[in-house]
Amino acid sequence: MGSIPFYAKRFVSGSNCEEAFTVVEKLNEKKISVTLDVLGENIKDKPQALKFVEEYDILLKRIAEKKIDCYVSVKLTMLGLDIDHEFCYENLSRILKIADENNIRVAMDMEGTDYTERTIAMYERAAKEFKSPEIVLQAYLLRTEADINRILAANGKIRLCKGAYKEAPEKALQKMPLIVENYKKLIEKLLLNGRRVCIASHDDEVIEYCISFIEKNKIPNDRYEFQMLYGMREKTWHRLREKGHNMTIYVPYGEDWQAYYSRRLTERKENVFFVLKNLFKS
Ligand code: FDA
């Protein structure tokens, strides 16, 4: 696999989309869906951002050709959010147009709090023009409950995660039990709201809580899906799928793997432990 070092291969599926498709096809055989992410973020020059737009263009067309069960995730700082707001929106629109034409969903990943407001504003604008966009919200942020109301008003589709960036206490809950409590509160609201919600977590406490809430409230399984990251908790993907829950795996690929990889290692000390343990096993 191109330039992905052995220790990153647990989390990164390949250096190009054809390598990533091998993973997608294996998961699809097990009736597990995929969201593919092109790695790269905080792009500072326009030609580089346009190269990534080109990559998504090819990716979306190849997904449609191959008729695989797969959608895409994208970071706005890859499309030039640090360079110029309108330039970034044009790039996003180009991707959403191709996605709409091919009936493929596009999730807008959420980055650090410097970008939260701009990402939500861009989502609100895009949701008026395109049917494909979805957005990620982070349960650790104090603002997220209000953001959920905004996104739902924009007829939005939400992936709820805990949040992976280091944030100040004025902006984000710092203690894991509080983040989990907030996650539970927010996911209830999303599950009851009637739109399809993506439950993005590897945490058994969160997963089991969601399952009992879903069962208690008889939420049909086309209204939610569980999501996990490639390389983490593989047995749990299959266990949930076998129980009849929809399961999507976030599968990243590309040469710019370092930032994503180090977030996976540094976001929670438990993960470093799991990575080390898994490295020695493999
Ligand atoms: P967390 O790391 O908090 O662990 C909690 C518990 O889960 C552990 O104590 C352990 O019991 C169990 N566990 C965790 N990993 C395990 C493992 N490998 N094996 C066994 N048990 C394990 N973030 C962001 O800021 N913006 C974004 O756009 C996204 N997008 C995104 C998409 C998807 C599909 C996912 C799954 C996650 C994201 N994230 C994200 C990352 C997210 O915010 C968060 O940092 C990680 O998912 C880690 O939080 P968890 O709830 O998964 O478990």
Q: Which atom of ligand 1 is nearest to the CA of 250?
A: 34
What CA–CA distance (Å, rounded) separates 197 from 227? 10
Q: What pLDDT does residue 269 have?
A: 61
Q: Does residue 62 have an active-site annotation?
A: no
Of residues 109, 147, 233, 256, which has the active-site annotation? 109
- The CA 271 to ligand 1 mean position distance, Å, reads 8
Confidence of residue 271 (pLDDT cuts 50, 70, 90): low
Confidence of residue 1 (pLDDT cuts 50, 70, 90): very low
Ligand 1 pocket, 264 CB below 6 A? no
pLDDT over 90, % of the chain: 84
- The CA 128 to ligand 1 mean position distance, Å, reads 30
- The answer to whether residue 282 scores a pLDDT higher than 90 is no
Q: Can you tell me the mean pLDDT for 220-226? A: 96
Residue 46 marked in a binding site: no
- The answer to whether residue 72 scores a pLDDT higher than 80 is yes
pLDDT over 70, % of the chain: 93
Confidence of residue 278 (pLDDT cuts 50, 70, 90): low
Backbone phi, psi, residue 253, to 5°:
-145, 160
If you ran DSSP here, which 8-state letter would residue 30 be given? T
Residue 223 marked in a binding site: no
Ligand 1 pocket, 91 CB below 6 A? no
Buried b (16+ CB within 10 A) or exposed e, 66-77: eebebbbbbbbb
Contacts of residue 142, defined as CB under 8 A and 6 or more positions apart, other chains included, come to: 170, 171, 172, 173
In the structure, how many helices (H) and strands (E) does the chain have? Answer: 10, 8
What CA–CA distance (Å, rounded) separates 248 from 226? 6
Q: Can you tell me the mean pLDDT for 162-182? A: 96
CA-closest candidate to residue 226, choices 216, 217, 132, 242: 242
Residue 201 marked in a binding site: yes
Query: Rounded to a whole number, what is the distance in angstroms from the first to the last CA of the chain?
Result: 17
Could you give all domains of the chain from N- to C-terminal order, each with its CATH number?
16-255 (3.20.20.220)
Q: Can you tell me the mean pLDDT for 14-27? A: 96
Q: Does residue 45 have an active-site annotation?
A: no
